[in-house]
Amino acid sequence: MASDRTVCRECGWMGRNAQILSAPNPFDPTDEVNGCPNCKAVSSLLVACQVDKCRKEASIGFPKDGGYVNACGDHARGLGWTT
């Protein structure tokens, strides 16, 4: 299962993908832009580490137990990542 946690690099908001704002891209009608529901910044959202209460950006993703894990460098090994 892929991460459903997102963090805003502008204001630090953290939430679920379903909370992200989206709208048609004014420059490309076949695309959309996403924004932070807290500060309204566009293109500021990052995949967050899956560990509860960790507010860091996920820097690695790897398959595990038939799913997929996203983690920051501090938590990757504890979640099963090996080199």
What DSSP string runs through 28-76?
A: EEEEEEEE-TTT--BS-EEEBPSSTT--SBP-EEEEETTEEEEE-TTTT
Question: Is pLDDT of 78 > 90?
Answer: no
pLDDT at 31: 96
Cβ(5)–Cβ(49) below 8 Å: yes
Residue 2 is predicted with a pLDDT of 52
Contact 39, 50 (CB under 8 A): no
Domain ranges, residue 46 = 5-79
pLDDT at residue 1, as a whole number: 42
Domain count for the chain, please give it.
Answer: 1
Query: Which tens digits make up the pLDDT trace of 8-59?
Result: 999 999 999 999 999 999 999 999 999 999 999 998 999 999 888 888 999 9
CB atoms within 10 A of CB 12: 11
Question: HSE (CB half, 13 Å, CA atoms) of 18?
Answer: 0
Q: Is the pTM of this model over 0.95?
A: no
